[in-house]
Amino acid sequence: MSDKKVSMEDIVSLCKRRGFVYPGSEIYGGEAGLYDFGPYGVELLNNIKKSWWRANVQLKENYVGLDSAMFKNPKVWEASGHVGGFSDPLAECKKCNTRIRVDKELEKVGVTADEKMSEAELNKLFDENRDKIKCSNCGAHEFSEVKAFNLLVKSNLGDFTGAGDRPVYLPGEACQGIYLNFKNIVDTTRMKVPFGVAQIGKAFRNEISPRNFLFRTREFEQADTQFFVPPHQNKENYQRIKQERWDWYVNELGIEEAKLHWKKHDNLVFYTKEAWDIEYDFPSYGFDEVEGIHDRTDYDLSQHTKFSGTDLNYTDPHAGEKYIPWILETSMGMGRIFLAVMSDAYTVEDKGDDSRTVLKLKPELAPVKAAIFPLLKNKPELVAKAREVYQMLANEMQCEFDDNGNIGKRYRRQDEIGTPSCIVIDFDTLEDDTVTVRDRDTTEQKRIKISELSNLLNN
RNA sequence: GCGAGAUUAGUAUAGUGGUAGUACGCUUGCUUCCCAAGCAAGAGACACGAGUUCAAUUCUCGUAUCUCGCACCA
């Protein structure tokens, strides 16, 4: 038995074929950078979220969860720097296609250009000064129009006239909701610094070029934790958090450790002290980021104090000392994790002329925990008994009933969606209430009492 | 967003200026006492729009989506 090399196309094909992931708005010709999770996809996704929540909220005494509104006061995005810094006005050289930053080039020739200016205003300034600006690459003066690439997605909440006087944004990152509620959580719960807040939320970005399946999408989900610590107590916590996150991938998601590595950021934004990514070795793409772990100092709460006018200082209950807490962040892309989990589980066993595709998911993550089959579909007593067992187990876990075709086909179908156990009702079942349980990975079966099924499967 | 390439059923693919096969999958029936078995039947596709043409899935142009480079990437 040897495993074939897996490409991303194999994963994409399986995702579509088996109902894990569909291209967004497909019947209308699709929409770039959007994907829908199908029946099995949503189960897997929810199981990943459940595992993450358990590790980051349930099992941690000093972490609490949150779910903040996606729409926020527009000033939030000014404070976060997204409105200003998330936008680059660009023009393109017609000769060599090199892009220039229009605001920077204008400033070089002594013209003040505000990056908050509208496209029309920037174009007017640009047109007036085109002669003075040349392409940094080939020296030509021929440029396309200015386009502002702000990654924030605008919306029109409460803007009934469409005039856009007060632009609102979909979240460019999910974590801002945590900063906004820091004071609420301190005031209404018994959390004391150091403590953490966890949230799973959607984020939207006008990616110029969404690509690589679920890896870079325009709408995506993030799972973030923000850990608030007293100033300068970042180092020791940072190490602990790094370790905890690594362990989650290995122990809880069951990802092969050799497929993971750390990558340190060399070019840090000014407020970040340290930043490491966990990268996964994706088929076809190679290593790329699935989660970032950032030491963000007091930047976020300071900014929100400044922009909101609300004092976000924390008063230490023992020492009475006041300070803006520092933040250690973990931020994971849910779609990327989904893709990593799928890639890691995807296995093709080559057995000569026969081959078997198996999703070797950790049982906790599997979309379907158990599939129940009657050995033969034309024996009503077997079908009835199988339905009975199915009803019993469906109370406790995600199950599937299948009497289609022959038993081998049903096994293979379940293998491909990663179902850990297949339960078969045969003639012996009718005599002594035992069934066979077939293991996904070994394909071996053992016979057990129906009354012991639940126990076995739950372990 | 630029450049290049691609797009035929759910998936993977063949093929043609006179509207299309194959494999697997799917549905139904029969059969079958455990690993994609067998028999029979069935549903299902030329991405979208325009042009050329007597006739376009095929040629041309545009659009969309995907892939690969570039660029971008809190």
What confidence tens digit (pLDDT) does each residue in A235-288 have?
A: 999 999 999 999 999 999 999 999 999 999 877 777 788 999 999 999 988 999
Q: Which nucleotides of B are covered by protein (CB under 7 A)?
A: 1-3, 10-12, 25-28, 30-38, 47-48, 64-74
Instruction: Measure the CA–CA gap between A291 and A331, rounded to whole angstroms.
Output: 5
Exposure string of A253-273, with b = 16+ CB inside 10 Å and e = fewer, is: bbbeeebbeeeeeeeeeebbe
Q: How far is the CA of A406 from the C1' of B28 (A)?
A: 15
State pTM to two decimals: 0.90
Q: Per DSSP, what are the bridge partners of residue A63? A: A196
Exposed/middle/buried for residue A126 (C-beta within 10 Å: 0-12, 13-18, 19+): buried
Q: How far is the CA of A10 from the C1' of B14 (A)?
A: 21
**Residue A352 has what pLDDT?**
64
Confidence of residue A6 (pLDDT cuts 50, 70, 90): confident
**Residue A154 has what pLDDT?**
87
- Of A339, A363, A338, which is closest to residue A441 (Cα–Cα)? A363
The percent of residues above 70 in pLDDT, for chain A, comes to 88
Q: How far is the CA of A170 from the C1' of B7 (A)?
A: 33
Closest nt to A15 (CA→C1')? B11
- Write the ipTM: 0.92
Give every CB contact of residue A28 below 8 A, 6+ residues apart in sequence. Answer: none
What confidence tens digit (pLDDT) does each residue in A361-419 have?
A: 999 999 999 999 999 999 999 999 999 999 999 999 999 999 988 899 999 999 999 99
The percent of residues above 90 in pLDDT, for chain A, comes to 72
First to last CA, chain A: 28
Question: Which residue minimizes Cα–C1' distance to B38?
Answer: A406
- Residue with structure tokens 């301190």? A186
For the ranges A76-80, A311-315, A338-342, A449-453, which has the lowest average pLDDT? A76-80
Q: What is the mean pLDDT of residues A133-152?
A: 70
Closest nt to A19 (CA→C1')? B10
Instruction: Measure the CA–CA gap between A409 and A388, rounded to whole angstroms.
Output: 22
- Of A331, A62, A317, which is closest to residue A195 (Cα–Cα)? A62
**Residue A108 has what pLDDT?**
67
Share the mean pLDDT of chain A: 89
Confidence of residue A13 (pLDDT cuts 50, 70, 90): very high
Closest nt to A426 (CA→C1')? B33
CA Rg value for chain A: 27
On whether the CB atoms of residues A265 and A271 are closer than 8 A, the answer is: no
Closest nt to A23 (CA→C1')? B65
A346: pLDDT strictly greater than 70: yes
**Residue A158 has what pLDDT?**
79
What confidence tens digit (pLDDT) does each residue in A430-458 have?
A: 999 999 999 999 999 999 999 999 999 99
**Residue A344 has what pLDDT?**
95
Confidence of residue A1 (pLDDT cuts 50, 70, 90): very low
